[in-house]
């Protein structure tokens, strides 16, 4: 269901009022996974991955033979720190198609 807005003074433009971050629903057999606030969810998932890379890298540093792998895990985690502000910025910037109006004729 979408709500519509009208302009003050009686002019009715009937522009649909759509939500920018509407829920994403994934059907998994008889179950549904509903993801709300997608950008925030993506940011949280990114933070978990960063923590996993750094934790695994720290553990692998205890074994001298695994130091090279540990360094790569730290590099991957560091790169994901660059992704974090990108996700936040994308959550604030949206391109939307503006419906044609009777003024463009």
Q: In the structure, what pLDDT confidence band is assigned to residue 15 with cuts at 50, 70 and 90? A: very low
Q: In the structure, what pLDDT confidence band is assigned to residue 67 with cuts at 50, 70 and 90? A: very high
Please report, to the nearest 10 degrees, the dihedral formed by the alpha carbons of residues 1, 19, 8, 105 taken in order: -90
Mean pLDDT of 3-27: 56
Token duo for residue 69: 């792998």
Residue 88's pLDDT is: 86
The per-residue pLDDT for range 69-101, each reduced to its tens digit, is 999 999 999 999 999 899 888 888 866 666 776
Q: In the structure, what pLDDT confidence band is assigned to residue 48 with cuts at 50, 70 and 90? A: very high
Q: Buried b / exposed e across 52-75, counting CB within 10 Å, b at 16+?
A: ebbebbeebeeeeeeeeebeebbe
């Amino acid at each position: 269901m979408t709500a519509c807005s009208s302009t003050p003074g009686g002019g009715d433009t009937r522009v649909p009022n759509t939500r920018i971050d509407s829920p994403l629903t994934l059907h998994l057999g008889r179950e549904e996974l509903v993801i709300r606030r997608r950008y925030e969810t993506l940011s949280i998932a990114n933070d978990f991955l960063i923590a996993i890379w750094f934790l695994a890298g720290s553990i692998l540093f205890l074994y001298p033979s695994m130091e090279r792998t540990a360094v790569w895990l730290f590099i991957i985690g560091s790169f994901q720190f660059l992704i974090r502000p990108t996700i936040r910025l994308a959550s604030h910037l949206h391109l939307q198609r503006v419906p044609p109006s009777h003024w463009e004729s």
